[in-house]
Homo-oligomer: A and B are copies of this chain.
Amino acid sequence: MSLTNEQLSFLKKIVDSSRVWIGEEIGEDYSHDELGGVSGYPDILIKVLSTEEIAAIMKYAYEQEIPVVVRGSGTGLVGAAVAIKGGIMLETTMMNHILELDEENLTVTVEPGVLLMELAKYAEDHQFLYPPDPGEKSATIGGNVSTNAGGMRAVKYGVTRDYVRGMTVVLPNGTIEHLGGKIVKNSSGYSLKDLLIGSEGTLAIITELILKLVPLPEKSVSLLIPYAKMEDAIGAVPEIIRLKSSPTAIEFMEREVICFAEEFLGKKFPDTKNPAYLLLTFDGNSEAQVEREYDKVAGYCLEHGALDVFLVDTPERKDAVWSARGAFLEAIKASTTEMDECDVVVPRNRIAEFIRYTHELAMKYDIRIPSFGHAGDGNLHIYICRDKLDEQVWKEKLEKVFEEMYEKAAEVGGAVSGEHGIGFAKKEYLREQIGEEQIRIMRGIKQVFDPKGLLNPGKVISGE
């Protein structure tokens, strides 16, 4: 696809030219996402400002049959926001306004380009918590909703889906629709809102979001618990859950990955002497209650293989630990020449088995496969590192490793992606896992929303 001069001039007329870039004016960043495995340039890049503007552009694109891709801050990992078919890229980062805090309905209304870290801070400043907490804080909320991002706190608080009360969207034909609202319950026809959550910009364009907040817990404490073996660490997780404690987060991390993060950030982690760690958080409204909860868990862990328990309760320690955790992806990326990722989610009592399997694959294919992730909710972030492999060998090994990994995920009752989505990169694994009938239904749904196939073409369930 490449736009005609007439089409480009028309678009420049309906959008202020200071927010439009064409052809070679478009920066290299806009040709890929964070991971960089998928690439392609749009013909025209527009930094959009409003629902109405998006509707006008989409209406024109629909008439003219021009592909449209929406991009937030480009932190995706599966190529979902890459304009692989050219056309128009709508970039939402100027739609970054928090429009309303409604303390009576516990909602915040935002534009899709608000960054997660901005929303998190805004909520905290008003004594609220926006619970979803994906590692990548500079992602936009629109992107988080489009991938149903989960993050650290899913163990206790659930995922992004659980916090989307309402949305304004522009359909592929340019119509503006409102779904849900400031309402807590809804049983009024099929939930189009829930269908759009996680649909990676292939069904409609999200232009406004009504999100649920919860009161900010008054107390939050983390425990860093070292183990002699990763399997001991992860093996403890189902048992911690059995104790009927309610940790906010349970993360697992390997020494190697922590050391990468220390180097990457130039910042010390409280302890790196041990091969494996669990990082647990507990929150609540009274010190005594939180203490009682973590005491129970700490006691259990010490009796069952933990080497120590470090209390992470000062601002300095919290910062050291959580900033390291936040930097894992970047740190692993900096440790190698190229990498690709696997974001499977498995039942939490199968994580240990799955991680062991990745270690076996690393041996079998003689390739480095560091990982970290959300032990509490079964969502693993596994990185296959190219290091010094030559192109051909890397491609072959990567394909085989992926194949075996996704097969194993299916075998233990898992899914292809916990929170990063399918985008372009994971399409064949999705197809293999869910089978032809579900793919047929998803394609049918795509066809209903987008009969001309213009919105984010070639992604998720597209056959191309």
Contacts and interface: CB of A to CB of B under 8 A. Distances in A.
A158 to B, nearest CB: 7
Interface residues of A, number: 92
Given A186-B415, A285-B289, A347-B181, A161 B194 contact: yes
B158 A162 contact: yes
A416 interface: yes
Interface in A266-318: 284-286, 288-289, 292-293
Contact of A441 (B148, B437, B449): B449
A183 B448 contact: no
Interface string A217-255: 000000000000000000000110110111000000000
Interface in A98-147: 102-106, 127, 147
A414 B195 contact: no
Given A104-B241, A441-B449, A442-B190, A155 B184 contact: yes
A75 interface: no
A192 interface: yes
A179 B441 CA distance: 13
A182 B445 contact: no
Interface stretch (A38-46, A325-333, A417-425): A417-425
Contacts of A192: 438, 441-442
Contact of A103 (B241, B346, B378): B241
Interface in A353-412: 374, 376-379
A54 interface: no
Copies of this protein in the assembly total 2
A187 interface: yes
A377 to B, nearest CB: 4
Contacts of A181: 347, 413-415
Contacts of A376: 184
A105, A106, A148: residue with the most chain B Cβ atoms closer than 10 Å: A105
B186 A345 contact: yes
Interface in A141-171: 147-150, 154-155, 158-159, 161-162, 171
Contacts of A105: 238, 241, 347-349
Nearest to A212: B158
A49 interface: no
Nearest to A436: B175
A185 B104 contact: no
Nearest to A146: B187
B345 A184 contact: yes
A460 interface: yes
16 contacts: A102-B347, A105-B241, A150-B185, A158-B162, A159-B185, A181-B347, A181-B415, A183-B378, A184-B345, A184-B376, A185-B378, A187-B420, A187-B421, A189-B422, A194-B195, A286-B289
